[in-house]
Every structure is written in C-alpha cells, then in structure tokens.
Amino acid sequence: MLMHMTRTTVDIDQDAVDVARAELGTKGLSATVNAALREIGRRRLLAGFDVTRDVDGTPQEVQANRRERFSEPSS
C-alpha cells in the first residue's frame, strides 16, 4: 500500500501513546500514531456495517449503498 506521509510537529500525551502502543503492539511513536489513526478509520467503517445492506444484494446495490453512506455531505 502506497502511503502519503507528512512530517509535522505536535504535542502528544505520552501516557496515551504508551497505552496505544501496548494495545496495538507497535514500536515507536510514528508506528503507534499511524496504527491508531488507521484503527479509527477501520472502526468508522465497521460502525456503519449492516450485513443485510452490505452483503445481501447485487454487487451494484452493495456498491451504491457504500457510495451513498461514505460520500461527503453536500454543502
């Protein structure tokens, strides 16, 4: 997977990093922060998962439901 990385300076709660590192099994600050961010994205996808809507139906219906659910809100 090709990732776009940005170098930045932020203040981070070291205790929170230690908890996340232990939970995620990562080593190093960057690996821990990146894994935590990916986990939040994964949880967002799973939170909206509905077996009936997302698995049952034709591939076109499933894709249409996903596009509708994850499209950016209109302004």
Name which of 10, 11, 41, 35 is nearest 23 in CA terms.
35
Residue 50 in any domain: the answer is yes
Which of 5-9, 35-39, 47-51, 69-73 is predicted with the least confidence, judged by mean pLDDT? 69-73
Q: Higher pLDDT residue, 44 or 73?
A: 44
Residue 5 in any domain: the answer is no
Question: What spatial distance separates the first Cα and last Cα of the chain, rounded to whole Å?
Answer: 32
pTM, two decimal places: 0.62
Q: Is the dihedral of CA 7, 29, 43, 2 positive or negative?
A: positive
Residue 25 in any domain: the answer is yes
Residue 18 in any domain: the answer is yes
Residue 19 in any domain: the answer is yes
Residue 26 in any domain: the answer is yes
Q: Which residue has the tokens 């499933």?
A: 62
Name which of 68, 30, 69 is nearest 48 in CA terms.
69
The total domain count for the chain is 1
Q: Higher pLDDT residue, 53 or 32?
A: 32
Residue 60 in any domain: the answer is yes
Residue 47 confidence (pLDDT): 80
Model confidence at 22: pLDDT above 70: yes
Q: Write out the residue range of the structural domain in which residue 26 sits.
A: 14-70
